[in-house]
A and B are shown apart, each in its own frame.
Chain A
Amino acid sequence: MVKNIIDVRNLSKSFDISSKKPGIKGTIKHFFKRQKQSLKVIKDISFEIKEGEIVGFLGANGAGKTTILKMLCGLIYPSEGSILVSGNLPYRRKENFLKNITLIMGQKQQLIWDLPPIESFYLNASIYDIDKFEAKKRIKKLSVMLEIDDELFIPVRKLSLGQRMKSELLAALIHEPNILFLDEPTLGLDINAQRNLRKFLQKYNVETNATICLTSHYMKDITSLCKRVICVHNGSISYDGELDLLLKKLSPVKEILIVCRSNQDAIKLEKLGFSVKDKTRNEITIKVENNYIISTLKTILNNFDIEDLYINEPPIDEIIGKILIKKDYDV
């Protein structure tokens, strides 16, 4: 049986926030007396993650995804509840725990700006007590996997965003962590760089059985990497389960684009009582519930002169967009 590597129970986090009213009056009042309030950004959440799992955290901006990751990696203290990550309390930041994890935040860099990335890699290797010979081997292996072996000796400031991000990833993985916390790792990257990064993460997961917790606003990151998603809404978990199940639940219909040979057929189809999404001349797009797809297709093919036909899933972004604004999913 695969063991749980992350165990979160009734976790909450509150921040003290000071607010200020606009204008001179508000400014003067704020100067003499700060109005502070405690804001609960994570509310009593519980979940478990198994070793080797890739879990995507989904939610709107400010939902609490990054705060959860920060607590899981020990960067910030929880206000209430308990977290165990590979048997450790993360916020104690014990050496053996820190050597097992990594956190990558898109656009936040740890590489030394004016030096080539190789210098930062050796520095990180030394921080994680990896000897020079072993470090060299790992840098070689990871740079080939990430396709940045030509950029190792170029100052970081001269690298493109994609090359920098890959270098950041190499720096963060040189100690071969078992648990990866990735906060928007593909932020700002072009489509090819995003795809390469995803391929790399998949390969890393397969080769090392590493557990990956990921947040991203690029749905392709989530759909291609994560079987399981945890949806966060206003600091609470609104869904925790398989992504496929959630998509089926949220999207019980498929779209059928029918290209008729004549405009008349298209008009007749429109009047048949289907839910029509779009119609232009001889092309009509209808929405059909998953259970009725076959019977609907039979009816259309038997009664109309059809030139072409396409069955599409609704755009994934559209479905996930629903997740961000809904509070609960009972799948």
Chain B
Amino acid sequence: MMSNLINSKILTLLKVQYSNMLEYRVEIALWAISGIIPFFMLNIWTNNNLNESISISEIMLSRYFLCAFFVRQFSVVWVVFSFEEDSLMGKVSPYLIQPLNPFFRYFAQHLAEQITRFPFAVIIAFFFFIFNPESIWIPNLGILFLSIISIFLSFLIQFLIQSIVACLCFWTEKASAVERLLFIPTLFLSGLLAPVVSFPQYVKSWVYLTPFPYLIDFPANLLSGNATNIRGGFIMQILWILLLFPLFKKIWSAGTKKYTAMGS
């Protein structure tokens, strides 16, 4: 009953946010294009034959970076910036006295944005295949299904991490500064710039214990058909979610007690 009610709220939120996102279709197309870092990285890797050092073929590497692009498209999170702005402008106040945690709004906003982004991402992939026809492949349905789940879990991890950081807005006015600090390990350790397998052994030994490789590297390897520990990857993703969710709830509860409703 309870979960049905929440589902119905989320569904309505999703529908409304999707309508809202469609108002910004040009911006979303531009955001989709702005996520092409993996293609630049692919260019750097292939032009310098760096793939030979990690025994990945050029084709598999290009598939990896295409998948990294896709994973990034559907797991990018900006909740800390939205929450910070809403918090400073006093917009959080009306949400706080509604019987639904405000983070559900941001959650639906992200999902709606991902749905809006999808066609643009497909068009970019289409052009990628025109220029790299040798990279065309069709993942089998089972792998595709698992990849979609792992991308969603990656999104959940990032959403939870940023939501925890966003809650710092209850104590500081510039919680996004912490997010900018977190962006550095996310960029370098997630697999966005290079597959984690290419990292030195001593880095790999600890980096797999952090949440970062499970944000891009694991789902991208899974989708592209590169060798990866599927069970281990999912276990780590779920473990991180189980760790981050109670942490978020705790910091949220403590934060709302500190809330001063400034700007309103």
- Kindly list chain B residues whose C-beta atoms are within 8 Å of the C-beta of A74: 97
A108 touches B20 (CB 8 A): no
> Looking at the complex, which of A50-58, A99-107, A235-243, A247-255 is the stretch in contact with chain B?
A99-107
A75 touches B12 (CB 8 A): no
B93 touches A108 (CB 8 A): yes
- Kindly list chain A residues whose C-beta atoms are within 8 Å of the C-beta of B256: 93
A103 touches B94 (CB 8 A): yes
* B142 in the interface (beta carbon within 8 A): no
* A129 in the interface (beta carbon within 8 A): yes
Mark interface residues in A113-132 (1 if CB within 8 Å of B CB, else 0): 01100011011101111000
Cβ distance B12 to chain A, nearest Cβ, rounded Å: 4
Measured as residues with beta carbon below 8 angstroms from the partner, the interface class of chain A is 20 to 34
* B200 in the interface (beta carbon within 8 A): no
Please tell me the number of chain B residues within 8 Å of chain A, measured between CB atoms: 26
- Kindly list chain B residues whose C-beta atoms are within 8 Å of the C-beta of A15: 260
Cβ distance B109 to chain A, nearest Cβ, rounded Å: 10
* A308 in the interface (beta carbon within 8 A): no
A129 to B262, CA, bound (A): 29
Given contacts A75-B259, A108-B94, contact A122 B16 (CB under 8 A): yes
* A73 in the interface (beta carbon within 8 A): yes
B93 touches A75 (CB 8 A): yes
Identity of the chain B residue whose Cβ is nearest the Cβ of A105 in the assembled complex: B264
A15 to B259, CA, bound (A): 10
* A227 in the interface (beta carbon within 8 A): no
A127 touches B97 (CB 8 A): no
- Kindly list chain A residues whose C-beta atoms are within 8 Å of the C-beta of B9: 126-127
A326 to B16, CA, bound (A): 49
Identity of the chain B residue whose Cβ is nearest the Cβ of A16 in the assembled complex: B260
A119 to B99, CA, bound (A): 18
- Kindly list chain B residues whose C-beta atoms are within 8 Å of the C-beta of A293: none
Cβ distance B102 to chain A, nearest Cβ, rounded Å: 11
* B98 in the interface (beta carbon within 8 A): yes
A112 touches B20 (CB 8 A): yes
A298 to B237, CA, bound (A): 92
A122 touches B12 (CB 8 A): yes
Cβ distance A86 to chain B, nearest Cβ, rounded Å: 14
* B231 in the interface (beta carbon within 8 A): no
B93 touches A105 (CB 8 A): yes
- Kindly list chain B residues whose C-beta atoms are within 8 Å of the C-beta of A103: 93-94, 97
Which of these, B12, B23, B24, B93, contacts A126 with CB under 8 Å? B12
- Kindly list chain A residues whose C-beta atoms are within 8 Å of the C-beta of B260: 15, 76
* B49 in the interface (beta carbon within 8 A): no
A76 to B12, CA, bound (A): 28
Identity of the chain B residue whose Cβ is nearest the Cβ of A120 in the assembled complex: B16
Which of these, B23, B24, B91, B261, contacts A110 with CB under 8 Å? B91
* B31 in the interface (beta carbon within 8 A): no
B264 touches A126 (CB 8 A): no
Cβ distance B65 to chain A, nearest Cβ, rounded Å: 35
Cβ distance A301 to chain B, nearest Cβ, rounded Å: 56
B16 touches A108 (CB 8 A): no
A101 touches B97 (CB 8 A): yes
- Kindly list chain B residues whose C-beta atoms are within 8 Å of the C-beta of A127: 9, 12, 98-100
B97 touches A115 (CB 8 A): no
* A318 in the interface (beta carbon within 8 A): no
A95 touches B99 (CB 8 A): yes
Given contacts A70-B261, A75-B261, A115-B20, contact A123 B96 (CB under 8 A): no
Q: What are 17 sample pairs from A and B whose C-beta atoms fall under 8 A apart?
A: A70-B261, A75-B96, A91-B257, A93-B96, A98-B99, A105-B90, A105-B93, A105-B94, A108-B91, A110-B95, A112-B16, A124-B98, A126-B9, A127-B9, A129-B5, A129-B99, A172-B94
Given contacts A93-B97, A108-B91, could you give 19 more A-B pairs where the C-beta distance is less than 8 Å? A15-B260, A73-B97, A75-B93, A75-B97, A75-B261, A76-B260, A77-B259, A93-B256, A101-B97, A103-B93, A108-B264, A110-B95, A114-B23, A122-B12, A123-B12, A123-B13, A126-B13, A127-B99, A127-B100
What 7 pairs between A and B have smallest CB-CB spacing? A126-B12, A110-B94, A114-B23, A95-B99, A98-B99, A123-B16, A127-B100
